[in-house]
């Protein structure tokens, strides 16, 4: 028979857990942590897309189509965000650099690095 040991927390004795139950709890926690660590990009992308979409709408939509509904046929001056997302040369880093470093054909940068990261995550989510 499996021996039982008390689990103590905050000075109170909790219900007894068997070794099997403790092992299952540890295994569950480890699996949950491993899943979180295995896909940090997916977590970051999910967190950044809604905020990024709002920032893009506020700062970028004047020139760029930031959603499919805003795309204009024949537009060549400012590429639609979906076209940027489909071009694998545009990575998170290159998109962020484009939004934060002054260059021709773009207004002066107004986004912080964190905001640019959110907008880049939104753009890449459109692929």
| H helix runs in the chain, sequence order | 19-38, 40-59, 81-86, 92-100, 113-125
Confidence label for 4 from pLDDT (cuts 50, 70 and 90): very low
pTM: 0.61
Residue 59 confidence class, pLDDT cut points 50, 70, 90: very high
pLDDT average, residue stretch 86-112: 93
Average pLDDT over residues 103-112: 89
Contact 33, 106 (CB under 8 A): no
pLDDT at 55 over 70: yes
pLDDT classification of 104: cutoffs 50, 70, 90? confident
d(CA 67, CA 99): 18
User: What token pair was written down for 76?
Assistant: 């060549």
């Amino acid at each position: 028979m499996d021996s039982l040991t008390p689990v103590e927390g905050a000075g109170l004795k909790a219900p007894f857990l068997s070794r099997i139950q403790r092992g299952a709890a540890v295994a569950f926690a480890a699996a949950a942590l491993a899943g979180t660590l295995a896909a940090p990009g997916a977590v970051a992308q999910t967190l950044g897309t809604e905020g990024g979409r709002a920032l893009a709408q506020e700062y970028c939509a004047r020139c760029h189509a930031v959603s499919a509904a805003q795309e204009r046929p024949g537009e060549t001056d400012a590429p639609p965000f979906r076209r940027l997302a489909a071009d694998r040369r545009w990575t998170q880093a290159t998109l962020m650099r484009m939004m934060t470093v002054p260059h021709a054909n773009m207004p002066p940068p107004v986004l912080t690095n964190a905001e640019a990261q959110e907008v880049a995550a939104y753009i890449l989510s459109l692929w």
